[in-house]
Amino acid sequence: MQLTDTYRRVKKSIVAFIPKCIPTSNPNARPPRVFPIFGTGFIAREDGIVITNDHVVKAFDNKPKPPNSHPDEWGVQALLFHIREHSLLSMPIDVIGVAQVAGFKHGENYYGPISPDIALVRVKAQDLPVLEIGDQLIEEGMDVATSGFPMGTEMLTAPGWLHQIAPTLQKGIVSAVMPFECEEPHTFAVNMMVQGGASGSPVFDPETGKVLGLIYAGVNHRAKTVDGKEYLVPTMVSYAVPWRFLKIALSSMKIAPPLPEDTPRFSEMIARSGAGPLTN
């Protein structure tokens, strides 16, 4: 299957994480057309389980809650875009819970991070479109693709106005398998530049759409100005958490808490979306 066909399915399951509100001292200020995007994730289960990075979830605590909100309410939402004929719906879905890695044990010969940079997010929706996690051997040179929200809302408003209402697709190859080519790598690298907002983007097989990994960091080069000040320059190399860690995380959520009784189905969300279509 061509990437054009695969991506039509994949992007239905990609979400952007946004704050619920933006505090302002101006009572007459108009809300932005698109709230600031600070991370990406993908829907891994129909009952509202989204996979993203742990460092994205840690940023949830820094987002203010709406005034007079319930103490248990989160200050973030998962924004899902759904394309209809000649229009598009932007559907914010409430976050109702998170699950982070509590402990990680590895063997004696291990060269990876202290803990895989993954976390699960529960959103208030059901019957959602899901991305399947693959199980194939990750090999250097194999074709891969990723999609998410690099640069967050800046990418969507690059010319100075809102001109893109969708995640951004990139295609490349597996550049390296860490610590070397093996059946159970701790990380793999892709030759695609990612920037803030792309964290949590799925890396997937261009033919099948199956998820092979999760973007969690980009490699930066340390350069210096003429007066000796250091600054970071993004490179075309990014790191991803391999699929096996994603499957382990999901298996720990086999018995998830039941969703609230008023949780809408995806079809109901489309039918009654209050956002309205953003027409072409």
Q: Considering the domain 3-271, what is its CATH architecture?
A: Beta Barrel (2.40)
Is residue 240's pLDDT more than 50?
A: yes
Tokens of 161: 């106005």
How many other CB atoms are there within 10 angstroms of residue 249's CB atom?
A: 22
pLDDT per residue as tens digits for the range 162-188 = 888 899 999 999 999 999 999 999 999
> What is residue 167's predicted lDDT score, i.e. its pLDDT?
94
Which residue in this structure is represented by tokens 């991070």? 113
Rounded Cα distance, 130 and 134, in Å: 13
Please, which residues have CB within 8 angstroms of residue 182's CB and are 6 or more apart in sequence?
none
> Which of 95, 5, 87 is CA-nearest to residue 43?
95
Confidence of residue 193 (pLDDT cuts 50, 70, 90): confident
Looking at the chain, the whole-number percentage of residues with pLDDT higher than 70 is 93
Q: Is the pTM of this model over 0.85?
A: yes
Cis amide linkage into residue 185, ω under 30° from 0? no
> What is residue 279's predicted lDDT score, i.e. its pLDDT?
40
